[in-house]
Amino acid sequence: MKNKKTLVLGATTKPDRYAYKAINMLAQKGHTVLAIGQNQGEVAGVKIHTKAIPVKNIDTITLYLNPKNQRFYYNYIVEAQPKRVVFNPGTENPELYQLLELNNIKVDVACTLVLLATNQY
């Protein structure tokens, strides 16, 4: 399996949240993980930043933010030039899909946890 450098947007230290579970599973599967969330903290050895951080060579950005909160990150996501953006359940956003497709970034409406669990990540 190839290491896919992944940025988790909407990261949290709350164990009952899917973003938390995704960070853990990504790390367990050997992916390099970066994380941005509302509150600082650490999950599976991954530091959660509260502001946009410089990123290079990102394979995937996986979203755990509702569409309203995604707007703040539109330019950041496009400038990061990931190969794809995964829209987890509850993050669906046709406006952002269109922006990503215009910038040749793949839109994947899926669940990161399911993709990882079924070796489709």
Q: What is the pLDDT of residues 5-61, one digit of tens each?
A: 999 999 999 999 999 999 999 999 999 999 999 999 999 999 999 999 999 999 999
Using DSSP bridges, classify how beta strands 46-49 and 33-37 pair: parallel, antiparallel or unpaired.
parallel
pTM, entire model:
0.97
Q: If we measure between CA atoms, which residue out of 43, 52, 6 comes closest to residue 24?
A: 43
